[in-house]
Amino acid sequence: MKEFIKLTDHIFEEILYSDVNLRDAKMMLEDVVMRRLPKCVGETRLQETEEAFKVEWTTAVYEWNKLHPDLVLYKKDFSTEVIKLDYNKEEENPIKSVYFYRKKQQNKGCKIRKYEISSLLPKTFSEQVGRVYYTKNSDEEEKDAKDCFIWWRLGKCVIELYDQNEFNGSKCVVTENCSSLDCCSITEVRSCKVIRGVWDLSEGRDYAEPHYQLKVGEYPNPGSWGNGNTAPALSVKCLTSHKIQLFENEDFEEPMHETTVNRHSLDGCGIKEVRSCKVLSGFWDLYEGPDYAESRYQLKVGEYPNPGSWGNGNTAPALSVKRMTSYEIQLFENEDFKEPMHETTVDRHLLNGCGINEVRSCKVLSGFWDLYEGRGYAEPHYQLKVGEYPNPGSWCASDPTVPARSVKHAFIQSA
């Protein structure tokens, strides 16, 4: 204690001007004096572990640099921190540990009765917050770091914009909302490729109507994004593409938890298991075990009143959920998966250049896909989930001898 009380503010200058070799400590104190302090560029509530949070952020920085080769961010300039927030009782309701005093018994503390507790209390009493700090080198680099964080938490949205039809003219890769194209190398959008996420393209600046919602795929002209449109787009916005409501009981009886992110477990969600759910947007995988342990059920937008409604006569509840963000399909020209084969992760309105002329069997490796009998997504079409389809009859084609000639990611609705 005697030594401890000597650690007053004077120790700062004593270290800073000491002749002793305290290089690292001096550098840290010099940073404080010069105000070279790490800046918090983003904060988010966490569902993943601390280690997963660090890995995902490092991966996001790497992917950001690939998309922005002229705006390089260095991993060594970042640090992460995970903070647990609770009422010093972890996930337990703190009211259960509080003693109250009544007017008639002012000298005796007692716990509040259940019916006296307000119904306005939250359902969960703890959460984890993840923060990313950046060692600021310049105001411009700090802005880039913040943009990278926002892009990461929005789901890493990416779109390629072209100022001429058929992906010609000047090209601009966009990863964030643009209320106007002033910051881009183009002045209008006449064709685009949605690489990741769901995007709104608006004919006016500042997202003015009319607007068109586009999922992952290629759009060679303004008419391809809906309503026979011929006008170019002047602003673009990335949308949150996944949302699900999870209910602990069947038939959507509360308690309920709504999420837009993966849940490897339901700890801290206010529910113990999932016995019904409403998929508001995107595609989701529900797992019977925690940490995405099988069995797995793939759900698209819709309502699922009980475990049996998500497939295979299932009766067990789900204990973890994950967004389905990847799409991959193998297309075979012949039945029974006989080559030639073409593997793709993007829409194909034509099979030109794919090495096959038509699709008579396929394997859906991830995501939901629509197969169309005609080129250019001409009807009829058939929606397929993960699985193997050895012939047109296996996807319930109107004519089991007619192949598919175009494929597209199944449509993602947005809430």
Q: What is the pTM of this model?
A: 0.47
Q: Alpha carbon 259 to chain centroid distance?
A: 11
| Residue pLDDT, tens place only, 321-345 | 987 766 778 999 999 999 999 888 7
Q: Is residue 132 part of a domain?
A: yes
**Closest C-alpha to 196, from 63, 100, 390:** 63
148 and 74 belong to one structural domain: yes
Q: Is residue 353 part of a domain?
A: yes
Q: Determine the pLDDT at residue 414.
A: 36
Q: Determine the pLDDT at residue 240.
A: 60
Residues 6 or more apart whose CB falls under 8 angstroms from that of 362 comprise 329, 330, 331, 332, 371, 384, 388, 389, 404
357 and 316 belong to one structural domain: no
Cis peptide before 210 (omega within 30 of 0): yes
pLDDT band at 133 (very low <50, low <70, confident <90, very high): very high
pLDDT band at 257 (very low <50, low <70, confident <90, very high): very high
309 and 270 belong to one structural domain: yes
255 and 232 belong to one structural domain: no
- DSSP 8-state code for residue 348: B
| Residue pLDDT, tens place only, 32-41 | 887 778 889 8
**Which domain CATH number covers 188?**
2.60.20.10
Strand partners for 235: 202
Q: Determine the pLDDT at residue 102.
A: 86
Q: Pick the residue with more confidence: 214 or 239?
A: 214
The Cα–Cα gap between 371 and 358 comes to 11
| Residue pLDDT, tens place only, 75-116 | 888 999 998 888 888 778 888 888 999 888 888 888 888 788
Q: Is residue 384 part of a domain?
A: yes
139-153 vs 50-67: helix crossing angle, rounded to 10: 110
| Residue pLDDT, tens place only, 141-173 | 888 888 888 888 767 788 999 999 999 999 888
Residues 6 or more apart whose CB falls under 8 angstroms from that of 244 comprise 258, 259, 260, 277, 278, 279, 280, 282, 284, 321
Structure tokens at 11: 């120790």
137 and 51 belong to one structural domain: yes
Q: Is residue 111 part of a domain?
A: no
197 and 144 belong to one structural domain: no
Q: Determine the pLDDT at residue 363.
A: 92
254 and 204 belong to one structural domain: no
338 and 218 belong to one structural domain: no
Q: Is residue 294 part of a domain?
A: yes
Mean pLDDT of 227-240: 81
239, 256, 276 - which closes a domain: 239
Of 171-175, 274-278, 344-348, least confident by mean pLDDT is: 344-348
The Cα–Cα gap between 294 and 330 comes to 24
The Cα–Cα gap between 285 and 322 comes to 5
Q: Would the pLDDT of 227 be above 70? A: no
Q: Determine the pLDDT at residue 385.
A: 83
Of 48-52, 128-132, 308-312, least confident by mean pLDDT is: 48-52
∠ Cα 288 289 290 (to 5°): 135
207, 239, 271 - which closes a domain: 239
**Which domain CATH number covers 80?**
3.30.70.2760
131 and 56 belong to one structural domain: yes
Mean pLDDT of 391-414: 81
Q: Determine the pLDDT at residue 331.
A: 94
Domain that holds residue 390: 328-409
169 and 265 belong to one structural domain: no
Burial class (CB in 10 A: 0-12, 13-18, 19+), 106: exposed
Q: Is residue 114 part of a domain?
A: no
Q: Is residue 61 part of a domain?
A: yes
Q: Determine the pLDDT at residue 168.
A: 93
What is the domain count for the chain?
Answer: 4
The Cα–Cα gap between 253 and 256 comes to 8
Residue type, 50: E
Q: 3-state DSSP call for residue 84?
A: strand
359 and 378 belong to one structural domain: yes
63 and 185 belong to one structural domain: no
Order of strands, sheet of 387-389, starting from the edge strand that comes earlier in the sequence: 341-344, 328-332, 361-366, 387-389
323, 353, 385 - which closes a domain: 323
Mean pLDDT of 289-295: 84
Q: Mean pLDDT across the chain, nearest whole number?
A: 84
Q: Determine the pLDDT at residue 337.
A: 94
Q: Is residue 66 part of a domain?
A: yes
Q: Would the pLDDT of 412 be above 50? A: no
